[in-house]
Structure 1
Amino acid sequence: MSQQKTIISEMEVVQEALEASLHKVELIERKLRTKLLTIENRNRLERELEEVKDVLEANQKALKDLRHENTRSFMIAASFVFACFLLFGLYSMIYGGI
């Protein structure tokens, strides 16, 4: 049986990836601050930093999209609950329950 992914579980995965990317950015920036790097190593670290920042930006966009989707799902559920209470209230008023 396959496990369905919910929006919340996808958000958690993206959030963890974001945190890992932020940690990697901090490590790379800390390494770049040292003066004991060769030009070759510094260039390699700068390229790696740009790649990690690109991944970080993509993950932030994905998280924003997932949050928007989560909000939309909540609004649909809330509307459904409101409609059910409205229909129950109308039914009760029409058929003398209240």
Structure 2
Amino acid sequence: MTNPLLGPTGAAHIFGPQKGANTADVQRLERGMLKLASFLPALPSVSGSGAAGGTAFGLAAWGATITAGAPAVGREIGLPGQIADGDIVITGEGRYDGQSAAGKVP
């Protein structure tokens, strides 16, 4: 995912409503993440820091490197070799949408 932690394309605004958050909830989540970000040594504006509801931001604060998820997971599990001879790949993704193109990992 390429979402930053905060802002209109951030974790609260994009992922909150998917999990049932209403407008007031999203605003409350955004304020909480802003406050949390002020205490941690990671940059909330980094592309991908909002992935997994902000988990990537927390991991970055611990020293992790944020990288595109789908290619990284694919490499780790040897996916290119596993699907090389396949005609179709079926995943557990709920749906293919605009977030899929941004690196959402099924």
TM range, smaller chain = under 0.3
Q: TM-score, normalised by structure 2?
A: 0.24
Which has the higher Rg, Structure 1 or Structure 2? 1
Q: TM-score, normalised by structure 1?
A: 0.25
